[in-house]
Amino acid sequence: MIWNEKLDEKPTKEFGEAVVERRNVGGKIISMGLGEPDLETPSYIVDAMFEAIKEGYTKYSAAQGLLELRERIAKDLSARVEVNYSANEVVVLPGIKAAIYFSLCSILEPEDEVIYCTPCYVSYPTQILLAEPKAKLVPFDLSEGNFEFDLEAFKNKITDKTKVLLMANPNNPTGNIYTKDVIEKIIEICKEKNIYIISDEVYDKLVFSNKELVTFSQYESIKEQLVVVNGYSKSHAMTGWRLGYAVANKELARKMSVLNFNVNTNTTTFIQKAACSIYDHGFDHLVAYNKKLKERMEYFHEQVNQVNGLSGVLPDAGFFYFVNIKETDMTSNEFCAKLVLKTGVAATPGIAFGDNWDDYIRFSLAVPFEVVESAAGLLVDFTEQLKIGDSK
């Protein structure tokens, strides 16, 4: 393959070196960077996995995924969005990254352009380049301040070579959910311009605001140009299990299955079988967890917005709080490096989520409330010591 130098870029190098420096002197690290739920994997899934091993689900399985799991995914999605999806439109893959990557591989050709919303998950640009090294990356910034999707700005990014719109709903790192009107307008534009939509919906079960989550899969009109990727890593604390899926038209699903066969042979059989148990139990365990996330977000939001030099927007979903540090006159790397060296609080520099987001840093609140309290206090003290004018 053509190795693009962007694959080797380390936008958070300065911050990473600061973390190492703090550890080298024995300093405590309060990790607020990882997108991993502070939940245990539900015991019924673990039990189902061991039972699957005992029952012999340790052999090869279909590259597209176990039929039983694909049927359950299709049935669950169809019931939620009232659009019919079949098992033939589902591909089970080793993680959501694999689902996005294989989707891009199945769609892109040389010189195609991919518009991707920023701030975005850190792997999106590199996955595009890995899937098609000659593709053109076209970052599209959400509106600063409220993280809304600017439809006119989006239309201005489109050319006759635009092939894909890649975005997350809910967004990572902002936690923003797009309105029904925006979703419908995006569909209208993409239909007219024959653009595929790849929608990463991994945080769709972690919604704690009153805002309605509207997904592209609710609309029959875009179905043939839509790939929805999702999984269980966030909703069921299965980050290390490496299990995700894509829902797409039958031809794209076939292509992704061919890719999976030639790269992985199949997704781990007994893990797929264990995941079938999810659909016998539902998502009741998330009621209490989403309540905890809401409490953490509201507390952190209040603390951040009382300090001169910091500001933020209350998220709708997910684990993350995106803090604006523009008034500190620091880059995100500089701020995060100094913060971790002085306090031990490790946040993620905003530059990791897009070139134009260096005025932000991301905190993961997938930690107990007492850790949120401690980190918020240290962040407030650190920022106040910078003496950025008068307090709010």
pLDDT at 341 over 80: yes
**Coil vs helix vs strand at 115:** strand
> Where along the chain do its domains lie?
5-40+284-384, 43-280
Q: How far is CA 274 from the centre of its chain?
A: 23
% of the chain exceeding 90 in pLDDT: 87
DSSP H stretches of helix in the chain: 13-24, 43-54, 67-81, 96-107, 124-131, 151-157, 180-193, 250-263, 269-276, 285-304, 332-343, 369-384
Q: How far apart are CA 107 and CA 166, in angstroms?
A: 12
pLDDT band, very low/low/confident/very high, at 390 (cuts 50, 70, 90): low
Q: Are 65 and 254 in contact (CB under 8 A)?
A: no
- For residue range 238-271, what is the model confidence (pLDDT) as tens digits? 999 999 999 999 999 999 999 999 999 999 999 9
Sign of CA dihedral 185, 191, 193, 195: positive
Any idea which residue has 């209350």 for tokens?
A: 314
Average pLDDT, the chain: 93
Q: How far apart are CA 340 and CA 346, in angstroms?
A: 5
Q: How far is CA 11 from the centre of its chain?
A: 18
pLDDT at 329 over 60: yes
CATH top-level class for 5-40+284-384?
Answer: alpha beta
pLDDT at 391 over 50: no
Q: Are 213 and 177 in contact (CB under 8 A)?
A: yes
- For residue range 79-125, what is the model confidence (pLDDT) as tens digits? 999 999 999 999 999 999 999 999 999 999 999 999 999 999 999 99
- For residue range 130-165, what is the model confidence (pLDDT) as tens digits? 999 999 999 999 998 899 999 999 999 999 999 999
Q: Is omega for the bond preceding 315 within 30 degrees of 0, making it cis?
A: no
Which DSSP string corresponds to 150-171? -HHHHHHH--TTEEEEEEESS-
Fold identical between 5-40+284-384 and 43-280? no
Q: Which residues contact residue 261 at a Cβ distance below 8 angstroms, ignoring those fewer than 6 apart?
A: 63
Instruction: State the helix-helix crossing angle for 369-384 and 332-343, rounded to 10 degrees.
Output: 110
Which neighbouring-strand residues pair with 138?
115
Q: How far apart are CA 354 and CA 335, in angstroms?
A: 17
Total Cβ atoms within 10 A of residue 240: 9
Residue 98, CA atoms < 13 Å, CB-side half-sphere: 20
The answer as to CATH 3.40.50.12280 being correct for domain 43-280 is no
Tell how strand 196-200 and strand 226-231 pair up: parallel
pLDDT at residue 22, rounded to an integer: 66
Tell how strand 345-346 and strand 320-324 pair up: unpaired
- For residue range 346-365, what is the model confidence (pLDDT) as tens digits? 999 999 999 999 999 999 99
| Global pTM value | 0.94
